[in-house]
Structure 1
Amino acid sequence: MKYKHIVFDIDGTLIDTEYAVLHSLQETIKELSGRKIPCPELRFALGITGTDALKKLEIKDTSYAIELWDKNMRNYTNTIKVFDGIIELLKNLLSLDYKMGIVTSKTREEFTHDFCPFGISHYFKTIICADDTQEHKPNAAPILKYVELSKTDHRKVLYIGDSKYDSKCAENAGIDFALAVWGSHNKHIKADYFLEKPANLLSAITSEKFY
């Protein structure tokens, strides 16, 4: 098989957090500065660390802002769900002996609080969070850290994400990239594979032409 490791981003790829992230960020900015920024203008924050997003918004006290954002995010937990087809995909990948991992811009604490409650974290052996590298997406460091810890050949890794930051991270690391179209608003992002739904991954990576 061409790939041995299938590595996922979290937000916009495994779980649908867009509404929660954008609305809680909107509330946070309004509380901190009085500005009400339309949610579509905040989409740049999807796929990068919270700290980096706040810096782009020229928020100086990012530590306090992160705490406030986390608090506001809890008000939207009922809007977050695992994307349709993801659990079936993970089960199928496991049955085919693929190794699965995660490279996310979430901190380890955010991973524990925001992702683990969905009960699918056991599928992933190697998990790289924002705390694990000094540089973050779109820099190559997070995926290179995954390659290092999983002790694999980077040519055997496929990264799946929904944002231009994910795509650039993979490109910078020399890793093949699949765009999770089901969670992305931009089909013009550079990718080796374009997946309309999770089930499309299996047909893409098991097709004879990829062997």
Structure 2
Amino acid sequence: MNPQAQCPTGRHYDLLVFDWDGTLMDSTSTIVHAIQAAFRDLGKPVPPARDCRFVIGYALKEAIHYLAPHSDDAELVRLVEAYRHHFVTGERKLELFDGVLEYLPRLRDAGYMMAVATGKARGGLNRMLDLTGIGPLFDVTRCADEAFSKPHPAMLEYIIDFTGAEPSRTLMIGDTTHDLQLAINAGTWGAALSYGAHPLEDMLHLKPVAHFDDFPSLARWLLEGEK
């Protein structure tokens, strides 16, 4: 399917697949801080915030390798562990974006199947689902330690197979180019959220069917067919 050939809107989807960090949860700045703190702990040059934001959505090991391409395996392990320490220290302070708690149940009640496709590891996502209480709203979730990292299509293809949805009636919703490229690679549609990790102008190059500045606007569009 060519996602640019005919763009369905609003209620033309059966399955909504959400990214987590920067899409449902306001965690971008915490991730950036944890990455930079990990590099600082090991005496490595601290990557700029833009580079840290770019790798959000990758599996953690791939993200750290992207930022430290010349590190050996042992150093990569230390960086990953240092990141986890710093992120877990602050994760209980994280909150969902405004509108997520209000609108996710309404989307569920409207008949949408819903899922999560995330670069988080299973343990990290489960902690966040427990913390927020929204786990029961999703038909299935898939994490980076259970499939190839975004933008490889395996994660999204698994969700589509699990739910029985058609790719042409599936919408991948995220805040990064990785999410939109994942949608393209899996033959689904993609919608962009401008309040997360990647600049909107970068995401627009991948031609999402729509883009939104806040979660309620996205939800109203899905519920009413209006942006």
TM > 0.5 fold call: yes
Closer/same/farther in 2, CA of residues 182 and 41 from structure 1, 3 Å limit: closer
RMSD (CA atoms): 1.9
**Which residue of structure 1 lines up, in the alignment, with residue 15 of structure 2?**
5
Q: Is 1:63–2:80 an aligned residue pair? A: no
> Is the partner of 1:183 in helix, strand or coil?
coil
Q: Deviations over 1:26-49 (max 9, x none)?
A: 011112233233323322221211
Q: Deviations over 1:51-106 (max 9, x none)?
A: 11111122333333322211111232355210001111102101211111111111
The answer (yes or no) to whether the contact 2:54–2:197 under 8 Å persists in 1 is: no
**Which residue of structure 2 lines up, in the alignment, with residue 112 of structure 1?**
126
Residues 143-158 of structure 1 correspond to what in structure 2 (within 5 A)? 143-158=156-171
**Which residue of structure 1 lines up, in the alignment, with residue 28 of structure 2?**
18
CA distance in 2, matches of 1:81, 1:111: 13
Q: Which amino acid aligns with 1:83?
A: F
CA distance in 2, matches of 1:32, 1:176: 41
Aligned length: 208
> TM-score by structure 1 length?
0.90
> TM-score by structure 2 length?
0.84
Overall identity of the aligned pairs, in %: 25
**Which residue of structure 2 lines up, in the alignment, with residue 177 of structure 1?**
190
Deviation at 1:136, TM superposition (A): 1.6
Unaligned runs of 5+ in 1: none
CA distance in 2, matches of 1:149, 1:157: 13
> Is the partner of 1:33 in helix, strand or coil?
coil
> Is the partner of 1:29 in helix, strand or coil?
helix
Q: Which amino acid aligns with 1:93?
A: L
Unaligned runs of 5+ in 2: 1-10
**Which residue of structure 1 lines up, in the alignment, with residue 214 of structure 2?**
197
The answer (yes or no) to whether the contact 1:17–1:79 under 8 Å persists in 2 is: no
